[in-house]
Amino acid sequence: MSTTLIGGVDEAGRGPLAGPVFAACVILHPDTPIDGLADSKTLSAERRDELAILIRSQSRAWSVASASVEEVDCLNILWATMLAMKRAVETLAVMPTQVLVDGNRCPELACPARAIVKGDASVPQISAASILAKVARDAHMLELHQLYPDYRFDRHKGYPTRDHIQALHDYGVSPAHRRSFSPVRSLIESS
């Protein structure tokens, strides 16, 4: 008797001006459902952290991967996201028989994959992946804050807030910034 193993995939960090893009893949365990799974953007940071612990301890398999700032700049954000997703699936301890991906595109994978728009709000496996990707990326941005405290990555996680744009003007571009993203690119070109 074969068991269908559904892997849910989602990313975190497509829009920020700094930091890698992260992706996660989660295969939930049918005997240990996790209450409260939802799109990570709708959950508080504290709730995401609580759920991430449950996801990592109770899932059949999970993996988090990323694509670096350099890969984002070289490939563009779409293809870097696909690369991070592919890495997340390929590094699972157990291979899924099917992958469901949040959004409208799928990375090239060795197993069947299907894109589901707003899947992070409707498919538990994708919700779990959304949470793990967001928690991992936020933790990485806190590490970057320690390296580059002037940019206040602890507050905005690299997104283009007014304070972040002002810090770019005040301190220039850090190694953590995506040089292909405007206004980072504009700032480089004007100096």
Per-residue pLDDT at 108: 96
Can you give the length of the chain in residues?
191
The candidate with the shortest Cα–Cα distance to 177, out of 5, 62, 2, 16, is: 16
Tell me, yes or no, if the pTM score tops 0.75.
yes
Residue 157 in domain = no
Range of the domain at 105: 6-146
State the CATH number of the domain containing residue 51: 3.30.420.10
For residue 188, being part of any structural domain is answered with no
Any domain includes 46: yes
- Mean pLDDT of the residues in the chain: 96
Residue 12: inside a domain, yes or no? yes
Whether residue 169 lies inside any domain: the answer is no
Residue 93 DSSP SS3:
coil
Total domains in the fold of the chain: 1
CA distances, 172 to each of 20, 43, 151, 168 (Å): 19, 33, 10, 5
Q: Let me know if residue 62 belongs to a domain.
A: yes
Residue 176 is assigned to a structural domain of this protein: no
The burial of 53, by beta-carbon neighbours within 10 Å (0-12 exposed, 13-18 middle, 19 or more buried), is given as: exposed
pLDDT of residue 1: 38
The predicted pLDDT at position 2 comes to 53
pLDDT at 190: 87
Q: What is the pLDDT of residues 83-115, one digit of tens each?
A: 999 999 999 999 999 999 999 999 999 999 999
Query: Is residue 163 included in any domain, yes or no?
Result: no
